[in-house]
Amino acid sequence: MEHSELLVDYSRAQFALTALYHWIFVPLTLGLTFIIAIMETIYVKTLDEKWKQITKYWMGLLAINFAIGLATGIIMEFEFGTNWSNYSWIVGDIFGAPLAIEGLMAFFMESTFFAVMFFGWEKVSKKAHLTSTWLVAVGSNLSALWILIANGWMQHPVGMKFNPDSARNEMESFAEVIFNPNAVSKFLHTISSGYVLASLFVISISAWYLLKKRDIAFAKKSIVVAASFGLVSSIFMLTTGDESAHQVALNQPMKLAAMEGLYKGEERAGIVAFGLLESEKEIGDDLDPFKFMFEIPGALSFLGYHDVNAFVPGIDDLILGNEKHNIISVKEKMIIGTKSVQALSDYKKYKKENNTIAMNEALKTFRATSHYMGYGYLKKPEDALPNVALTFYSFHIMVTAGSWFLVLFILVLYFSMKNELTKKKWLLRLAVITLPLGYVAQECGWIVAEVGRQPWAIQDLLPVGMATSNIGSTSVMITFWLFAILFTALLIAEVKIMLKQISIGPEGH
């Protein structure tokens, strides 16, 4: 079933819209729940009422964020069915399991103990309450684990085999799916980035109080917890980022090439520290991909393959092929893929006709070609290329911002320890304005991961053009705009409420 480009574009746009809105709220929940749990632990250990007040204040802000995160989250699960129904069948046998486990293991834990965390202060013991708070943190992170196992599988499908009778991929090894290296690195990198954002959130709001010379003790205490948590998380995030890039190099070389704007592959490939892409650049031409750039030699080879001399394939190599490095062109893959699609169709036809010999022949051809089956659905080789500019700039904004966050945490923690933070107005101002950058970095991370792997819904197996539901594009256009209006309306309310609560402050004035 072929889909119109408009349908595919709007289906992608709707999913991206939902995911990008959802991703404004989720990272904060992932980290803030842990920060709150740490603060409450200090309260339970010290019985200092000040820490209880601090815990409750940040809990209040968490609740505002949590509600809208939940609202945007429910859609994502159902959108796999509503907008990606072919996908739901073709890979649902593998993809559905982690989603169901997420619901069972994580969502119930979150929703059950969430009520205790907010309303149980006077109803359960201190220890039971603290346990509930920790369980909410664990529950939200477990949720991230399962959804990222699912996402990691989309980026690097393992542990399954295509069943021509049911015309879908079927799971063969659950262990391979859950211990998929791509999923593990993705999970660790994503949650640590959430912890960093939550730390920035607490530091930024506390810094604003310090600049306003109000709620000083509250702000100082909050900053110490958040900066310590943020520093550890930042280091962890950079380490897991390195592993994520390694996984991308191994399994998604086109994404890596797009992230770095690398057209002609090379040994000792460098990382572009900063640069401006040449918009006229086309696949296979001799135009320099950059108007200008500054490069760190050998760094990309090292980052991608842990070998400074390794060859990193570029976009031209991956699209047009490179005999020297044994890379076959997309055109050749498309020919093999087309054979595969035809063989599957023949197999079904001959099976219906009870023509066993022809059926077995078709099956043999299918088995020999099915590794490139996804390419059989592409229309032209250039379709295998993601949006280079969007991927490149998003990646570089994310990395630059992430590095700055580490510096900020070090500075804030250092001056906090020396009890000089209130005097460092420049640092407090920087801390306040860094929060929006934290959100930008989060969204960029999502763009790198998801735009960078286009056109694949499942890497190399299923392009987005084949994965959508078989519905009219007008229907998706209508719901896209309804979602856009609704989410924006809710976001406005959320921001207004959040700002008001921040201005009211922990003392309620």
Name residues contacting other proteins, limited to 313-352 (CB under 8 A): 344, 348, 352
Buried b (16+ CB within 10 A) or exposed e, 261-278: bbbebeebbbbbeebebb
CB-nearer residue toward other proteins: 1 or 357:
1
CB-nearer residue toward other proteins: 168 or 214:
168
- What is the residue whose two structure tokens read 């229907």? 475
224 near other proteins, judged by CB under 8 A: no
Pick from 282, 433, 492, 507 the residue near other proteins by CB under 8 A. 492
486 near other proteins, judged by CB under 8 A: yes
Tokens encoding 501: 């609560």
- Among the residue ranges 193-201, 225-233, 395-403, 498-506, the one whose residues contact other proteins (CB under 8 A): 498-506
Residues in 84-113 that interact with other proteins by CB under 8 A: 84-86, 88-89, 92-97, 99-105, 107-113
- Among the residue ranges 189-197, 210-218, 433-441, 496-504, the one whose residues contact other proteins (CB under 8 A): 496-504
Q: Report in angstroms how near the CB of residue 97 gets to other proteins at its nearest.
A: 5
Distance CA 190, CA 174 (A): 22
Q: Report in angstroms how near the CB of residue 230 gets to other proteins at its nearest.
A: 26
- Among the residue ranges 63-71, 201-209, 302-310, 376-384, the one whose residues contact other proteins (CB under 8 A): 63-71
- Among the residue ranges 37-45, 319-327, 403-411, 481-489, the one whose residues contact other proteins (CB under 8 A): 481-489
Listed as own residue / partner, the contacts of 76-80 with beta carbons closer than 8 Å and 24 or more positions apart are: 76/15, 76/18, 76/19, 76/22, 79/14, 79/15, 79/18
- What is the residue whose two structure tokens read 């286009």? 454
Distance CA 461, CA 215 (A): 56
- What is the residue whose two structure tokens read 């570089």? 396
Residues 43-62 vs other proteins: string with x where CB under 8 A? Answer: -------------x--xx--
Q: Report in angstroms how near the CB of residue 461 gets to other proteins at its nearest.
A: 15
Q: Report in angstroms how near the CB of residue 341 gets to other proteins at its nearest.
A: 10
Pick from 66, 375, 405, 446 the residue near other proteins by CB under 8 A. 66
- What is the residue whose two structure tokens read 């020396």? 418
Beta carbons of 154 and 449 less than 8 angstroms apart: no
- Percent helix, percent strand, percent coil in the chain, to nearest 5: 75, 5, 20
509 near other proteins, judged by CB under 8 A: no
CB-nearer residue toward other proteins: 56 or 268:
56
431 near other proteins, judged by CB under 8 A: no
Residues in 162-201 that interact with other proteins by CB under 8 A: 163, 166-168, 170-172, 174
Pick from 74, 217, 235, 287 the residue near other proteins by CB under 8 A. 74
Under 8 Å CB-to-CB from 339, ≥6 apart: which residues?
365, 369, 376
Distance CA 447, CA 93 (A): 27
Pick from 118, 236, 404, 414 the residue near other proteins by CB under 8 A. 118
Distance CA 97, CA 113 (A): 24
Kindly write down the DSSP assignment for every residue of 282-303, as one continuous string: -TT--S-SEEEEEEETTHHHHH
Residue of 453, 457, 477, 476 lying closest to 465 (CA atoms): 457
Q: Report in angstroms how near the CB of residue 497 gets to other proteins at its nearest.
A: 5
Residue 15 DSSP code? H
CB-nearer residue toward other proteins: 82 or 239:
82
Residues in 374-403 that interact with other proteins by CB under 8 A: none
Pick from 13, 16, 64, 211 the residue near other proteins by CB under 8 A. 64
- Among the residue ranges 80-88, 217-225, 360-368, 414-422, the one whose residues contact other proteins (CB under 8 A): 80-88
6 near other proteins, judged by CB under 8 A: no
Kindly write down the DSSP assignment for every residue of 438-477, as one continuous string: HHHHHHHHHHHHHHTTTTEEETTTEEHHHHS-SS-HHHHH
Q: Report in angstroms how near the CB of residue 477 gets to other proteins at its nearest.
A: 12
- Residues that contact other proteins, how many (by CB under 8 A): 86
Residues in 288-317 that interact with other proteins by CB under 8 A: none
Distance CA 196, CA 200 (A): 6
Residue of 345, 337, 376, 377 lying closest to 363 (CA atoms): 345
470 near other proteins, judged by CB under 8 A: yes
